[in-house]
Amino acid sequence: MTRGARIGGWQAVQAEVLRRIHAREWPPGHVIPGEVALAREFGCARATVNRALQALADTGILERRRKAGTRVALHPVSRATLDIPVIRQEIEARGQTYGYRLLAREEQAPEGWARTVMHHAGAAGGCLHVEALHSADGVPFVLENRWISLSTVPGAAERDFATVSANEWLLATAPYTHGDIRFSAGTADADTARLLDCAVGAPVFVVNRVTWDHDAPITAVRLSYAPGYSVETRIGTLS
């Protein structure tokens, strides 16, 4: 890059930072220039630089610490990135026919595990509870048990979710900045077994996920997959 040349977009800033790291212009442990200096050099907004550096920090290539600046990681760690799937598309990608059934829809305060993480979504009526069953070739695939914050996503109150799932609608309508996810092995209780058409006590794969718009919760969902489900992801590095 020619000094003084303008860079457009945070992806271009990220690419230039990576180039300097790979060329050892900024070796491991090196404290890189501050956001203001880089914004001036690249001819872009400081927010653009911030987004690029934060993306690299999220992958483990950079280390960012308040008052200590940003440095190139001594031992970069590749971190797995998981995209939230649209369940319909996941089933259709398997070559199966997708089915969907809304089981419940009601405005209510979150219960159980979701109560803690959604506590500032409001009091009773501050959340929309949606329960639905997704199927593949007519066989139960996953049970969706979800709370949506109506203070963060007020438009959800107008949706009946009778034909389009909350999973699909939220991913198309409510952009998230980050999320928390937990995978666990569980067993089917009586209600889950009835809906997933399996034996009580059968092993089920459970995903608890919360997505956020900065510090505002969007949705908390528990997905209980029928016995035999497996999850796949890719491991890679940012280059």
Model confidence, pTM: 0.67
Predicted confidence (pLDDT) per residue in 122-181, tens digit: 544 489 999 999 999 999 999 999 999 998 899 999 999 999 999 999 998 888 877 889
Neighbouring C-beta atoms of residue 30, cutoff 10 Å: 14
Q: Indicate the average pLDDT of the chain.
A: 87
Cα separation, 170 vs 152, whole angstroms: 11
Predicted confidence (pLDDT) per residue in 11-32, tens digit: 889 889 988 988 889 999 999 9
Q: What pLDDT score was predicted for residue 215?
A: 78
Please state the rounded mean pLDDT for residues 188-195: 97
Structure tokens at 210: 């919360």
Q: What pLDDT score was predicted for residue 159?
A: 96
Predicted confidence (pLDDT) per residue in 225-238, tens digit: 999 988 766 655 44
Q: What pLDDT score was predicted for residue 208?
A: 94
Instruction: Convert 40-67 into a string of H (helix), E (strand) and C (coil).
Output: HHHCCCHHHHHHHHHHHHHCCCEEEECC
Contacts of 128 (CB under 8 A, 6+ apart): 105, 106, 107, 147, 148, 150, 156, 157
**Span between the terminal Cα atoms of the chain, in Å:** 17
Q: What is each CA distance from 120 to 180, 182, 209, 213, 216, in whole angstroms?
A: 16, 21, 17, 13, 8
DSSP 3-state of 230: coil
